[in-house]
Amino acid sequence: RADRMKGAETSGQSKYKQHKEDIVKAGRVSKLVNGCRDVLVLFHQGQLHAMDTRCYHSGGALQYGDIEEFNGQLCIVCPWHKYKITLAEGEGLYQAVEDPTAKPLRTHWRSKGVKQRIHKVTEVNGEVYVTLNDSIEAIESDVYQTETYRSVSLKAQSKPKPRK
């Protein structure tokens, strides 16, 4: 794993670097990586994870979401609408009902597929490197990484609040 990271360092593929101890202390760090993508880096149960900062569903700020386990998978839960996103793959999980007429209802967890872009995290000598996932396949969280979204979002944040 470290050998692959050294190659990425020298080839310029790594887009973000931070001391691991800073991430461990904070638990979560949200950064604009390479001037183009807002990425959330998490440290949870001894593991580092990185994903797009905004939830695929409605743009909720995932840095404020709880981390919980569902169906044996660690997930971040969006604080806005409680969408569950796996840390490992970015899959959206939902609770399916087997037979809605049966009482009591029997549910189980299912995947909606990959909805949140996950980025590669590598640690070398106490430094954490995040390499952006540059897959050309569109993923739903991509919509919140566009210049259009950023400009609309900034305008909304900078509007003066009406006086009462």
Number of domains in the chain: 1
Q: What is the CATH number of the domain that holds 131?
A: 2.102.10.10
| Regions of the chain short of the pLDDT cut 50 | 1-12
Question: What's the predicted TM-score (pTM) here?
Answer: 0.82
Domain-embedded: residue 154: yes
Predicted confidence (pLDDT) per residue in 5-46, tens digit = 333 343 445 578 899 999 999 999 999 888 889 999 999 999
Dihedral sign of CA atoms 29, 92, 120, 39 in order: negative
Encoded tokens for 73: 């998978």
Domain-embedded: residue 164: no
C-alpha span between 53 and 59 (Å, rounded): 8
Backbone φ and ψ for 4, nearest 5 degrees, come out as -65, -35
Encoded tokens for 103: 């009482």
pLDDT at 2: 38
pLDDT at 141: 97
Domain-embedded: residue 163: no
Backbone φ and ψ for 63, nearest 5 degrees, come out as -65, -15
Q: Is 41 helix (H, G, I), strand (E, B) or coil?
A: strand
Q: Residue 9 is part of which domain span?
A: 2-158
